[in-house]
Amino acid sequence: MCGIVGQLNLKNAIERSAFIAMRDTLTHRGPDDAGANFFENDSIALGHRRLSFLDLSEAGRQPISNEDETIWITFNGEIYNYIELRNELLKLNYRFKTETDTEVIIHGYEEWGTEIISRLKGMFAFGLLDLKKNQLLLARDTFGIKPLYYYQHNEQFIFASELKAILKCSDVKREIDFTSFADYFIYRYVPSPKSIWKNISKLPPAHFLIFDYKTNTTQLTEYRQLKFGSEKINEQDLISEVGKMLEQSVSIHARSDVPIGSFLSGGYDSSAIVYYLTKLGYKPETFSIGFKDWQNSEHQFAQLVADHLNVPHNVTLATDETLELLDIMPDVYDEPIADISILPTWLVSRSAVQKVKAVMSGEGADELFGGYTWHKEFYKKNAELPFWKKWSNKLSGEKGFDTVAFYSNAMAMGKFDGNELKQMLHPDFHSSIPEDSNWFYRKNFNSNLSPVKSLQKLDIKCFMGELVLTKIDRATMANSLEARVPFLDYKLFEKILEVNEDVYFKPDTTKFVLYENISEHLPTAILERKKQGFVGPDKFYMNIERYKNILGNADLVRDGIVRAEYYERLLNNKDHWRLWKLAVMEKWYKRWAT
């Protein structure tokens, strides 16, 4: 895994030392090596920080080019079908000078143009410079596992893995987009394509962008949309096929010239990954996080799995003082994100990197198999609707009740709507409050899908794509650790999503298809364990005294953005989830905006 950066200045030459400084803000993403190349009289630059897994020699240094040096790439990620693509290209008489997956993208682009992007299986973000066409191509993987930001203003275009690299450029003004500021409190993140800053955007998942630097124009294209269907197939056939696909995915995710470990929580998802690794002959180091004096601490369940599968296990215990790590989160995440597991994820990543350079992780399984608690609740609500109401609402394109409102409540963890934001923000900022506080959910809602599938799509595009994957990427890469997510194989998602939901979703069996594949291979205590998110005890987030210390002299109040009386009301009411969001924003604001 790596850090990438590029700059195109259509008016003035790029100062090389300044560009290198931008690149090296990403050293944590790639401590093993670095490279930079300059083009067109220093009006274009590509930079790279390398975390090495394949072809550890200097031949794998980036940016790299084709033979005549007309196409260059800086790449972040892993392409898991690169061997298959490489063999296909070798038959077409392409020559390779490295053993990396990166070079496959260059020759694939030469052969198939932008179609190469939809052929890639893996996690990726890259910038490809075509000097013949005078174009820069940016691309991001299907689910948004790897990040990519870009800045476009006047005659300047910059892209990077993280915001901090773009902000290092002295030409970039730090102007908060207060519509994004408001969105953060609604969603717990800033949704794509927006970022917290004006003139800086996120490239959305499953998109590529072409920037023509001669005409100073951009074109954004969505290259893949997941297909949803209602095919009725035999349950056992689906269980068998999904089991084979999962094993194959774990196998190709294990491709590396260095050892791969695994996070292990004791839940179905990470336990399944470790089981498949052992079945394939690996004995991975495993890592979990626990909390002292908490009976539901997941490390004890993880230990059961590790003992059962006979793999080494490493435990890190968090304490009440762990909340102090909130001080460093703005440097880890760049823009505010209020997922409550940002701290434990960073802690377990810090532990894992002491022994391995990469870990597997279970993100995507709940989205794939309909494993969240809100899936069961929503399914039940729809099942209880009378037939005539379902029928009449189907004609009108509705689902019997407001699905978006239901989903918004499930996601909120401290609800902010327009009215709440008006109470929080100074009137000068009320114009930044969206008319529809659920606009991003509504954008990704498809009323034509079945109940569970409609939530799965929202999860994939919103919860997972914007919150969960951002959390895992930044927490691991801040520690120079790569996270690989074998459930996020788009072919596997297509296999499940094209099937009628009644085949794979059983309201009485959590993640039915996955359960059927692991039920004979894991301890009974794990199989019967109640679902639990990657969280700590409630008291970990309910320490009102800490919130008083964080918010007592808040810069957001001092600068006339948030009303002091609103802070006081939340503190008096011990409204800890809203206080958590405010504390995260206050820490970010102090670090980046003052």
- The C-alpha torsion from 409 through 410 and 415 to 419, rounded to 10°, is -20
Return d(Cα 28, Cα 480) in angstroms, integer.
Answer: 5
pTM: 0.94
C-alpha dihedral, 468 to 472 to 473 to 477, nearest 10°: 160
Q: Which has the minimum average pLDDT: 147-151, 294-298, 415-419?
A: 294-298
pLDDT at 197: 98
For residues 293 and 290, what is the distance between their CA atoms, to the nearest angstrom?
9
Task: Compute the distance between CA of residue 572 and CA of residue 477 in angstroms, rounded to an integer.
Answer: 38
Q: What is the bridge-based pairing of β-strands 482-484 and 358-360?
A: parallel
All residues at 6 or more sequence positions from 74 whose CB lies less than 8 Å from its CB, including other chains: 4, 5, 6, 46, 47, 48, 62, 63, 126, 127
Whole-number Å distance between alpha carbons of 6 and 163: 12
Question: How high is the pLDDT of residue 594?
Answer: 86
What confidence score (pLDDT) does residue 417 get? 96
Indicate the average pLDDT of the chain: 92
Question: For every residue of 169-197, which 3-state class applies, written as one string?
Answer: CCCCCCCECHHHHHHHHHHCCCCCCCCCE
The whole-number pLDDT of residue 401 equals 63
When mean pLDDT is compared across 136-145, 287-296, 297-306, the lowest value belongs to 287-296
Residues catalogued as catalytic: 2
Q: Each residue of 60-89: pLDDT tens digit?
A: 789 999 999 999 999 999 999 999 999 999
Strands 44-50 and 149-153: unpaired
- Taking residues 103-131, report their average pLDDT: 97
Per-residue pLDDT band for 393 (boundaries 50, 70, 90) equals: very low
pLDDT of residue 395: 40
Give the chain's domains with CATH numbers.
Answer: 2-222 (3.60.20.10), 235-369+458-527 (3.40.50.620), 400-446+542-592 (no CATH)
State the pLDDT confidence band at 299, using cuts at 50, 70 and 90. Answer: confident
The residues with which 316 forms a beta bridge, in sequence order, are 289
- Over residues 314-326, the mean pLDDT reads 80
Question: For position 100, what pLDDT does the model report?
Answer: 87
Contact yes or no for 559/369 (Cβ under 8 A): no
Question: Biggest alpha carbon distance in the chain?
Answer: 71
How far is the C-alpha of 514 from the C-alpha of 499, rounded, in Å? 15
pLDDT the model gives residue 111: 97
Q: With a cut of 90, say whether residue 475 has pLDDT above it.
A: yes
Instruction: Name the band, by pLDDT with cuts 50, 70 and 90, for residue 536.
Output: low
pLDDT at 1 over 80: no
Is residue 442 within 8 Å of 431, Cβ to Cβ? no
DSSP labels for 462-500?
IIIIIIIHHHHHHHHHTTT-EEE-TT--HHHHHHHHTB-
380 pLDDT more than 60: yes
Give me the residues paired with residue 482 across strands: 358
Give the pairing type, strands 260-263 and 286-291: parallel
Q: How far, in Å, CA of 92 to CA of 106, rounded?
A: 14
Indicate if the pLDDT at residue 292 is higher than 80. no
Average pLDDT over residues 194-213: 98
pLDDT for res 253? 93
pLDDT of residue 195: 98
Lowest mean pLDDT among 59-68, 263-272, 534-543, 575-584: 534-543
Decide if pLDDT at 270 tops 60: yes
DSSP state of 315: E
Measured distance between the N- and C-terminal CA atoms of the chain, rounded to whole angstroms: 32
Q: Judge whether residue 559 has pLDDT over 50.
A: yes
**Among 376, 361, 382, which residue's Cα sits nearest to residue 508?**
376
Q: Closest Cα to residue 330, out of 70, 86, 99, 588? A: 588
How high is the pLDDT of residue 398? Answer: 47
Confidence of residue 276 (pLDDT cuts 50, 70, 90): very high
Sheet holding 149-153, edge to edge: 33-39, 44-50, 2-9, 156-160, 149-153, 200-202
466 pLDDT exceeds 90?
A: yes
What is the reported pLDDT for 392?
40
Q: Can you give the pLDDT at residue 396?
A: 39
Least confident segment among 101-115, 270-284, 291-305: 291-305
Is 573 a residue whose pLDDT tops 80?
Answer: yes
Cβ neighbours around 495 below 10 Å, total: 18
DSSP secondary structure of 351-408? HHTTT-SEEE--TTHHHHHT-SHHHHHHHHHHHTS-HHHHHHHHHTT--SS-HHHHHH
pLDDT of residue 55: 54
Portion of the chain with pLDDT greater than 70, in percent: 94
pLDDT digits (tens, 9 = 90+) for 325-359: 889 999 999 999 999 889 889 999 999 999 999 99
Query: If you average pLDDT over residues 538-543, what whole number do you get?
Result: 75
